[in-house]
Structure 1
Amino acid sequence: MNQQSNSLQPEQKRGIYITVVVVVIAVCLFVGFFVYGLSKPKILSDSELKTNGTFLFDNPRSFKAFSLVDYNKQPFTPEDLQGKWSLIFFGFTYCPDICPTTLVLLNRFYQGQVEKGKYAEDLQIVLVSVDPARDTPEKLYDYVRFFNKDFVGVTGEFLDLHRFATQLNIPFSKSPGGGENYNVEHSGNIAIINPKGHYVGFFRAPPELSKLNVGYESIRATR
């Protein structure tokens, strides 16, 4: 009696090889599409953006001329808002809560964008002082760079700051009393400026990191 051979025929080996190759290719394609889906920014509609705390205007708003000064004592004008996306937050160095909390969050947001490597190269974060009497350029330099050395600090004459803030719909006022330790009430919204130097919208206060990321990346992916 002849012993049955356990070896596979060439046709069988070829069939198994083809099946394995097809399965490997399918798995690679699936993983590739999955990774691409994770890395691709989520695109939100205008209504979804609003629910997310991001408000965009139907028509971008241009600035009237303004002249402020940054923490290096250099002029800060509309030209400094061109060629990049800018997120502008108003605050002051003596702020007890909202300002440091927001700047910590903006640092986490900025560092996250740097790590993702897609929308960080042309992004600048700007803190504009609402307390020019106490916020000298030197004090702003130390304060802002404590949170992130890439952030920009801006101050100026009170009326110039007030006019600039008004263009961005950011009210602020000095609280009565308090002596030298007075407080300044101000909006916590974060203004969004496009590379043309136009005011296009804002992130509503109080900001949340996840919503800030989704809103910003959706804007960048569609505008």
Structure 2
Amino acid sequence: MKHGRSDLRAAVVGVVLQAPVSDREYLETLPSTEGFIEEARVRGGGGELMPVAADQAPITAARFISLATKEGDDDMFSADLTADERHGRLGHMASVPTAAFLSGADQFVPQGGGRSPPEVLAETLRAAMVSSSPSSPPPSSPLGTACSAASSGRAEPGDGTRGGASTTTSTPAAKKTVVFVIDEADHSLSSPAHAQEFISKVEVFAAGLG
């Protein structure tokens, strides 16, 4: 959406993000990551393949740096990003309605260390995607309450309010952007009940795009 051709971007009527997580924050929990970052830089950060142990699938030095470092192009969902950094990475999403679904028990999200609960991270993500600027006012009601209301069906996708919490939106499309936390779900929604909850909410979101 940020770098694609304008005609292709215009053809997108909505975006669904399932389990958007920070690769960098997860990789930081692995003792081998720092060494692989250094090796990727030694290799020039280009198209040369990294050692097999660097990732579950073949990966280039450039791709590894993009995923594993704060300056990487793929570092979009980390909790330690500033409002300016997050808006710079996600502010372009204000041009298209987006539904983001975070898993409440995502095994790739580090726990503890003062990290915010998923409900807070969800609303922070939405704010970055819809705000007219990084300094736009924060939601006016408790973040967890807002996310819980939407997740339980008390707020429908498309109302732009997140069940009472409001964030200044920059475009009409952004008013349809919503975030959800699927309680106790893992990264891949392996539970049929969690998968069905995701499908049902996507159907409601898609129906509101017409």
TM above 0.5, yes or no, is no
Larger Rg: 1
Q: The TM-score by the shorter chain falls in which range?
A: under 0.3
TM-score by length of 2: 0.22
Q: Which has the larger share of strand? A: 1
TM-score by length of 1: 0.21
